[in-house]
Structure 1
């Protein structure tokens, strides 16, 4: 079998050589390098070890040369319990390689972005062990390949995680060893969760309890298959059956399919900006998000599928006041729409409960969501179920606040997610997608139509809070005196976004024309964003008024207000309102006054790197300055696996660098496509197939201070409104390769046809 395996691999490599030579995967220029064992594996937050994944299954490497550990996570394996710790995404288990001969040996690993694998080398004196691991892109299987230069013995342990009310089992079926972990029959579980992992070696072994010997020149392959009851009802039987079918030819097929998927992924778009550090983090962030999310699978929680223990921070849930939404933001403009298709389902699944919350707690229509939910209608953020536990954790015995659910003083948790729905809608104008999410937008509209108050010709918002308001140990359970925000910028912006987007979607779908007048009235007459004066200049205020010293005292554009105004809402900007944008731009210009460390520009060491940096780009702060601070932030707080970390979140940071760079090169969120809108024109740059609102993909190149061309592909035949990339000059248009009209002026309104290719140059 080994000889056959080698021959087939050689043949496949030869067959693929021409293709690999013909088209380089640009992301392959970059990789993560590890010269010592990971320090934060396992962890309740972001791991620092080598990572691989297929958007459903995540693989985290830890341990040492002699005790190699692989932690397996899966996006759909949850303990469906309404309180954390204890509830939330759960840890399936681990695969361990114990190799005593490598005790004290060196640890070296690489995480490859183009191939989506982990390659490691462990050495001690003359002994060397090579390991390659990857999560197959198209199957539920993880592959581990080991080679050695000397005979070496190892012990293998496949372990299901124990505790937290789980029931585990293990067994062997022919040459396959399997383990399982289940949550069921515990009080308050909303649905049962089961997972199985089955291991097969190639060449096969039948004694998994003893030592396995590796010999020089003979590769040993370990294939681990993983299925949950969310994949199929016969989860355990299928796991074992598929593991049994794996052999050397099947491994080769999996590897080819894996390479093909990732090659297609990297072809979807491309940027080149002449800055190797930012390009490395640009592509690494894209890689890590693609490892975390796949459109036809469960959506990733705060830590993605890189789960290394139970009771991850915040239950690893879907935190709805920005953490859940943020990881997706760069995927739209990066033309990775397929990775975003899982976003909506948890929100749609919670709608009936959301209606009950609105009706029972507020007495109004629509949907009202707590701060944290999970899949399949799960709520993850109930207050502790006993007064004693409540007092221990939150310094009050009152565990029936808001019916026992954590709303934390905020009404925006449902409407916040409309931002992502609109990003995808405007990016694709996909009718089927619009029909899918339109009912959600309608429920949000019902809520806000009832909740808003009309005073003196303006719609105002009471009791929706700029930040979370809750009992805690710091305030000793005294929190109600902090309630009372009036006209929070976060709330005003998100509500404006909702009704603007709802009008656009209803027109597109030709639905609810009789309601559009009301929606436009709210859109046009929502209260103005509050302003104040600081150091003699106009500045944004977080709220019009509040009893909270913190909320009342936040002056200037900051992370939370950005969410409502600039990103993800997109209701403000230099095109929409240049005068107001100048106020926001001045606020950004004063961020540097508030820091001692350039890494904390925008106050992003805790949270907000994915918000503040792209928002600074959108309002027009100089790109070179943003890049300087972004590099300082990366250097201050990132891991060897190229994950930029934050104190309060995980995969949300993966959108920071891609979105900031994309917005420097191409903007379209204000209904006007702008080419290199915030880029130093003296620096060469190019991009291929970035996605713009209107269902366009666009490519362009800047060289020696001149834009050489703009290529536009129209998917849906919509009008393309474009700022003249060559101010003051006439522009030649080519349509499907043929000369067409000549345009002039500041803006062009290009009529397009579905599938049409348009090129512009001077």
Structure 2
């Protein structure tokens, strides 16, 4: 659970949100308009005081991310909000004037009226298909409860066989309180205050129709009430201090830019620690911080491109527990994605769409699925789609990848009529297959950082295998006269539809196939399939470039050879041919380890450098903007471009207002370092996640020369030499690295081996030999650009420049 906290003159306001509260699932027929589906919100909570303790300005508010405590000092009242990290609970501690008694009240308010009902269930569309298709039949019911000095607000969402429930409960700790129903949407609990009083707020949720979340919430209240405020604060601080002890960074520059980066980076980790410990990942558009009830621009579905902003940066932090919600969600929809690969595409393996409900894609009626497959694979002309197919689509959300050819709709004579994008079955995410591979790659990275073979076997390998088998069996992938496998009729990112050999897919296939081959070798499994996968990998079509005969690129482009997004017959939404360089929001060649400072294919590396330069054709200066989702800073770090990192990294965190933006305050940053750049109530920190990934790659890279090969550690590969830095980060191969750079020189380099793997390290002192110190004892001497040495599990290894005092570990502080 989570909330923003804000004030009016005499009230403290919260909206309690949870990651596991959804109003519908993938089988919904009730949300046909964009942005009208909702999730997360549980209750409004208002804490009211006598007088006006919170004037418009002039009082102090401070969030300590180190202690996990919010402090607000108003006129005559001081408030501490403590996060109870082992319970879904907040403790709101209010200190007032000991000499005078005043009333303090806590009001729970519904996010909507008591019952919200979407339409009725209709009869079968046709006798032939005998389908019962409910239309706008979702019901949301809320209830106010008073029980023995406690109040609660419940929600229940139902549609067909889907059920979800939540409860928020409030009580004063060790204080007698009075409850009253205010109106049909609110209930208040009030008590007299002299000195200090504590309000406890808890929440619970379930998708089991037989479970009662109120009982669960009241049990939590009892558990938290049994502990003193001092004990709750001690537990919270211990949790947070342990969290920060896992690793952090310390940056300095004369102009303060490095300190700005450091502050934003730690705030991003705080947000993830607060929001990513539940059953599902927080939604990109609002996370746990919505304040306006159910309104949430972009609705309740997950976009992986957006979700990746939060999770791609986490492996290097070593906080793998924060990644679990994303893995739980995608593994939880595995069966549905396996079914979708067969039904929608006539393929094998798994198909995870770019946009998806938390439980994946719904099972379709067989005949409708058969028609969809023929239409989407371009075997059946779009103009021949049946009335049954269109009637079914009429009830589906246009942001779902499966139905993304729908643009918007209009209400005509009481009926919602959809409008199409005009590109047949294509929409921005309809034929986007690389998301499946990118999700599988995240699983693979989790293994590479930990070398957890059980994780690889049980969690990562099924997803990797499923991604490769989907591509390999996709009906529009064919081995052609040139002896190469060519991919037809897919999207290349969102802008380009119907691409042959899309850049996104060709990169994805290379990478996940290499990864599944390595994984199968590690697990000693799929002996026969390895030959099939190897043949597939070795005969993939080359990556498209601007010098290919059929390549498409901007008409005004006359620069050096670069990678491009796709080949003919790419079309835009208006069906006109087009071509683009790689999408700066994905830049997949860097996403999948195909091109980085360790890449042995120097031609590809040169092409990547040229592509990067062309993406910055307007030059690089202190005002160069970096979009929320942009991977430009990540690409700069991957290519060792410290000059670009110095500008792009802080600029991505700054998120300068865009005068063209339609969103709040032209998408500029809010005081809490987040932004509403995704639209109304879509508060987010995507820019901080992307920048955190770039920061990690600037400080430490552990890339293999090619996907699936052994990683090579490289310290400060793209770090601006004018900035000092010290960090503790995780690296692939099962290592934690602590390193320091001061005045452009590496002073300290130490590794901790978690698994006893062989270490491959680019010599941090390339002009000198080095000596290793194993668990503080002098050991072997090494020389050369690449240092390779054995390690033991739990061993700490100091890498010291030979013959100088530099490289000595600094004093512990």
Same fold (TM over 0.5): yes
CA contact (8 A) 1:175 1:244 kept: no
1:515 aligned residue: 529
- Say whether residues 1:144 and 2:169 are aligned partners: no
Query: Which residue of 2 is the match for residue 411 of structure 1?
Result: 433
Q: Would you say the 8 A contact 1:318–1:324 is kept in 2?
A: yes
Cα distance in 1 for residues equivalent to 2:236 and 2:427: 42
Q: Deviations over 1:3-40 (max 9, x none)?
A: xxxxxxxxxxxxxxxxxxxxxxxxxxxxxxxxxxxxxx
SS of residue paired to 1:95: strand
User: In structure 1, what is the Cα distance between the partners aligned to 2:751 and 2:417?
Assistant: 58
> Can you give the 5+ residue segments of structure 1 that lack an aligned partner in the other structure?
1-56, 470-481
Q: CA deviation at 1:85?
A: 4.0
8 A Cα contact 2:22 2:300, kept in partner: no
CA distance in 2, matches of 1:192, 1:103: 42
Stretches of structure 2 lacking an aligned partner (at least 5 in a row): 117-138, 181-187, 253-257, 365-391, 398-405, 548-556, 657-667, 705-710, 802-813
Which residue does the alignment assign to 1:538? 561
Residue from 700, 710, 717 that aligns with 2:756: 717
Contact 1:153 1:213 in 2 (8 A): yes
Which of 402, 409, 416 lines up with 1:391 in the alignment? 409
Shift of 1:133: 1.4
How far apart are residue 595 of structure 1 and its match? Answer: 7.6
Cα deviation for residue 587 of structure 1 reads 3.1
Please, which of 794, 797, 801 is the counterpart of residue 758 of structure 1? 797
Match of 1:267 in 2: 245
Alignment of 1:300-311 (within 5 A): 300-302=282-284, 303-308=286-291, 309-311=293-295
| Compared CA separation, residues 468 and 570, structure 1 to 2 (3 A) | same
TM-score, normalised by the number of residues in structure 2: 0.77
Alpha-carbon distance in 2 for matches of 1:140, 1:654 = 25
TM-superposed CA distance for 1:716, in Å, is 1.4
CA distance in 1, matches of 2:614, 2:622: 13
Looking at structure 2, the residues matched to 511 and 157 of structure 1 have their Cα atoms a distance apart, in angstroms, of 59
Q: 1:426 aligns with which of 448, 458, 467?
A: 448
Separation in structure 2 between the aligned mates of residue 489 and residue 334 of structure 1, nearest angstrom: 30
TM-score after normalising by structure 1: 0.82
Structure 2 match to 1:498: 512
Tell me if structure 2 keeps the 8 A contact 1:195–1:226.
yes
The 1:608–1:565 alpha-carbon spacing in structure 2 relative to 1, beyond 3 Å, is same
Match for 1:641 among 672, 676, 680? 672
Partners of 1:361 and 1:403 within 8 A in 2 = no
Residues 136-192 of structure 1 show CA distances to partners (whole Å, capped at 9, x for unaligned) of 1111111111123465444321123224432111222212111211112x34xx521
Separation in 1 of the partners of 2:461 and 2:422?
A: 33
Identify the match of residue 170 of structure 2 among 199, 203, 217.
199
Report what 1:67 is aligned to: 11
Alignment partner of 1:297 is 2:279: yes
> Which stretch has the larger CA shift, 704-713 or 95-104?
95-104
Runs (4+) of structure 1 exceeding 6 A deviation are: 386-389, 398-406
Gap change, CA 1:595 and 1:63, over 3 Å in 2: farther
1:538 and 1:507 mapped to 2: Cα distance?
37
Q: Deviations over 1:231-251 (max 9, x none)?
A: 993421121233245437343
Contact 2:140 2:155 in 1 (8 A): yes
Find the residue that maps to 1:208 and give its secondary structure: strand
User: Which residue in 1 is equivalent to 2:314?
Assistant: 331
Q: Name the CA distance, whole Å, in 2 between partners of 1:518 and 1:362.
A: 21
Aligned counterpart, 1:134: 82
Render the CA deviation track for 1:549-573: whole Å, top value 9, x for unaligned.
59975554442451x2102x22222
Kindly tell me: are residues 731 and 488 of structure 1, through their superposed partners in 2, closer, same or farther at Cα, counting changes over 3 Å? same
Alpha-carbon distance between aligned partners in 2 of 1:327 and 1:652, rounded to the nearest angstrom: 6
**Is 1:168 equivalent to 2:112 in the alignment?**
no
Which residue of structure 1 aligns with residue 67 of structure 2? 115
Q: Is the contact between residue 340 and residue 363 of structure 2 (CA under 8 Å) also seen in structure 1?
A: no
- Which residue in the other structure is 2:595 paired with? 572
C-alpha contact (below 8 Å) 1:385/1:399 kept by paired residues: no
Deviation at 1:282, TM superposition (A): 1.0
Aligned: 1:92 with 2:126: no
1:660 and 2:698 matched: no
Distance 1:94 1:121 in 2: 22
Post-superposition CA distance 1:679-719 (Å, at most 9, x none):
1334321112x111111111111223332232111111111
Whether 1:695 and 2:744 are equivalent positions in the alignment is no
8 Å CA contact 1:384, 1:399 repeated in 2 = no
Deviates more, 1:273-282 or 1:344-353: 344-353
Aligned to 2:198: 221
Q: Which residue of 2 aligns with 1:39?
A: none
State the superposition RMSD in angstroms.
Answer: 3.2
Give the distance between the partners of 2:319 and 2:334, measured in 1 at CA: 27
How many Å separate the matches in 2 of 1:227 and 1:404?
40
Instruction: Give the whole-Å Cα distance in 1 for the aligned partners of 2:77 and 2:632.
Output: 44
Q: CA deviation at 1:598?
A: 5.6
In structure 2, relative to structure 1, the CA distance for the partners of 1:385 and 1:542 (3 Å cut) is same
User: Alignment partner for residue 358 of structure 2, among 362, 375, 391?
Assistant: 375
In the alignment, which residue of structure 1 is the partner of 2:460? 437
DSSP-derived class of the 1:344 partner:
helix
Contact 1:489 1:561 in 2 (8 A): no
Q: Is the 8 A contact 1:315 1:380 kept in 2?
A: no
* Whole-angstrom CA distance in 1 between matches of 2:621 and 2:52: 42
